[in-house]
Amino acid sequence: MELESKLNEIKKPIMVLGTSSGAGKSLTVTAICRILKNSGEAPIPFKGQNMSNNAWVDWNGGEMAYSQALQAFACGISPSSEMNPILLKPQGDSTSEVIHLGKSIGITTAKNYYKDWFIPGWEVIKKSLNSIYQRNPNSRLVVEGAGSPVEMNLIHRDLTNLKVAKYLNANCILITDIERGGVFAQIIGTLELMKPEEKKLIKGIIINRFRGDISLFEEGKKWIERKTQIPVIGIIPWLNDTFPPEDSLDLLEKKLRSTFPEIKVGIIKLPSISNFSDFDPLENEESILIEFIVNSQNLEKYDFIIIPGSKQTIKDQIFLEKSGLSDDIRKYSINKGHIIGICGGLQMLGTKLDDPFFKEGSKTKTEYKVEGIGLLPLKTTFFEKKLTRQISSESLWPCKSKINGFEIHNGKTELDNIENSFQVNPIFKDLDLGWYKESNEGGTIAGTYIHGIFENDSWRDQYINLIRKSKNLPILNKKSTSYKIKRELIINNLANEFDKYLNIEQLLN
């Protein structure tokens, strides 16, 4: 049975629309999901279409945006690609990989997306919504929009804002970021550009990121309500908890948390950086300070370097060579440096990268075979299809412990130089998931395909202790708080703060 015929039977969906990108939609949905869960409801997050290289892999091997995975955690349920049926992964030159229901099905240009993908995209959105409600008839959907719902040059091909809102007849919230300025114009302008049947879906307005005394905005609140005839249901103050950014651009805005760090980490900010949520467990360590490295420089001030995942490994390796960062990393490795590469970072640490199907950013036949940084004797060949799966393994280094995470990559990596292969050892019992070697000076070079490696508490603790030992810092014998427990605390804190300032009751009827 189609969902349209059951809309009167289901709990009214809540949808969060924004006056702009970065208004706070993702965090608001996360908070509402946890508030509803704590009240005894069964919320499920949904975003019809997301554009992000920060991905997650569900238990069926399906790709989805990490923000929807985080929202699923807030609901207390396992993430599923049905919660984000369309994922667009930008790969430069105005092109994106198209993922439907977790599976890669093609490449599109921005110009051709509406012509080629709008109709199949809408069908996969409806299919996901029907499937969710068939399995969870008593749930309440909490839906996230994308960007602004009234980009007039794009509105005819907008799959994830007002089209979804009207299809679900959702109770919609319009959220705006007062920190950006022009909050009154943002709200009025957005509503004026909506059709009457769209505007009537807006049941509440949220003013986000308010600094100072909220009572000082009382007159502004009354003016908005008189002008729009829509209640302001929340004025949310500026919150300090760090959450994963939706997009790599937001990395530039991430705040440094550690006041007196004992360990300084440098992360190479690749042009096509992906899966940057891998670093969140490190950001939640009080003794660690993270900085992103964009330009060639002396890396000696860092206690270890991370080369992260990449959506375009060949392209990013060429960037490292041209920028001088490859040479910086090699010099750093000679001077007792500790380096770890994750996924694409692992591939770049090797000696050879072959891209015969032009899948990883190579554009010409002269580019599809490039040399890696050359610190691990590994060669990688990229194929037409990529691997996506959840991982459960056991580490051998720097400690023996159970490991969970996921793989999401193209390419097969294997030992390149047999003569030098005795220098490297497997990190895991599954021998193709990662390798490491130790230098004579005491440094280490490691690479792994496992995203979420730092979420494994014992492994993270031992790796950090390895760094501490190299700095003659005392070893931390006390186990750190589990990252998953910290994540739960952060989500609870977020929900509690929103609950203080958000009147959500009127949207539930």
Q: pLDDT tens across 276-295, in order?
A: 999 999 988 889 999 999 99
Displacement of CA 147 from its chain's centroid (Å): 16
**Strand partners of residue 451:** 406
Tell which residue, 17, 16, 24, 32, has the closest CA to residue 495.
Answer: 32
Tell which residue, 226, 227, 207, 228, has the closest CA to residue 217.
Answer: 207
Q: Give me the half-sphere count of Cα atoms (radius 13 Å) on the Cβ side of residue 461.
A: 16
Residue 252: per-residue pLDDT: 40
Q: Which domains does the chain have, with CATH numbers?
A: 3-243 (3.40.50.300), 256-481 (3.40.50.880)
Q: What is the pTM of this model?
A: 0.93
Tell which residue, 83, 139, 86, 88, has the closest CA to residue 109.
Answer: 88
Question: How far apart are alpha carbons 146 and 67 in whole angstroms?
Answer: 12
Q: Which residues are catalytic?
A: 343, 451
Asked whether the beta carbons of 103 and 280 are under 8 A apart, the reply is no
State the chain's mean pLDDT as an integer. Answer: 92
Give 111-160 pLDDT, tens digit per residue.
999 999 999 999 999 999 999 999 999 999 999 999 999 999 988 889 99
DSSP helix/strand/coil, 288:
strand
**Strand partners of residue 99:** 87, 104
Give 303-328 pLDDT, tens digit per residue.
999 999 999 999 999 999 999 999 99
Percent of the chain with pLDDT strictly greater than 70: 94
Question: How far apart are alpha carbons 167 and 164 in whole angstroms?
Answer: 5
Asked whether the beta carbons of 165 and 201 are under 8 A apart, the reply is yes
Tell which residue, 338, 385, 406, 328, has the closest CA to residue 60.
Answer: 406
Question: How far apart are alpha carbons 291 and 275 in whole angstroms?
Answer: 16
Give 9-29 pLDDT, tens digit per residue.
789 999 999 999 989 999 999
Asked whether the beta carbons of 71 and 142 are under 8 A apart, the reply is yes
Residue 247: per-residue pLDDT: 53
Question: How far apart are alpha carbons 430 and 448 in whole angstroms?
Answer: 11
Residue 67: per-residue pLDDT: 95
